[in-house]
Amino acid sequence: MVDQVTNGTIVCGDSLALSGFKIALTYIEASMTGKLSASRGEIVQSVFIGSLKKQVEELLNWSQELKDDFHNYVKSGKWPDGESQEREKLAILLSWFLQWFGVPPSSVIQSAIDRVKPKLMASSVPLSRLLFPSAPINVISEIDVCLSSS
């Protein structure tokens, strides 16, 4: 995954590995905090888990190209296209970004925003946070910026 982002070498075109990694991190966190009835005494420490999450988030850091592709996805549901290896890399990054942060499909975002838009005086962030509780606040804020500029 790191090689794909840093070197542009495209090894895998789906987000299944990232999804499995996210599930594994969630499972380990739940067992460490006692939410699962597992034996205590795992070797894995919360600092290690936190650093893994941070590394993934840094890999998915907002480049301007990724931000533009995200805005296009939210506004129109269009996926990045193009024949170049760079465009293919950006499509994979967008896929990973959406998977990692649990961003709902653009049709769901549009439908939810259309329902709450008449009730809004300013920002849609508070209501969007209620509609998409699993999405991080920075993603919700970016959706608000994207849709308010259209």
pLDDT in tens, 75-133: 888 888 877 777 888 888 888 888 888 888 999 988 888 887 766 667 778 888 888 88
**Helices 85-101 and 46-59: crossing angle, nearest 10°?**
140
CB 80 within 8 Å of CB 90: yes
User: Which residues, at least 6 apart from 14, have a Cβ–Cβ distance to it below 8 Å?
Assistant: 95
CB 97 within 8 Å of CB 79: no
CB 85 within 8 Å of CB 8: yes
Checking if the pLDDT of 11 tops 60, the result is no
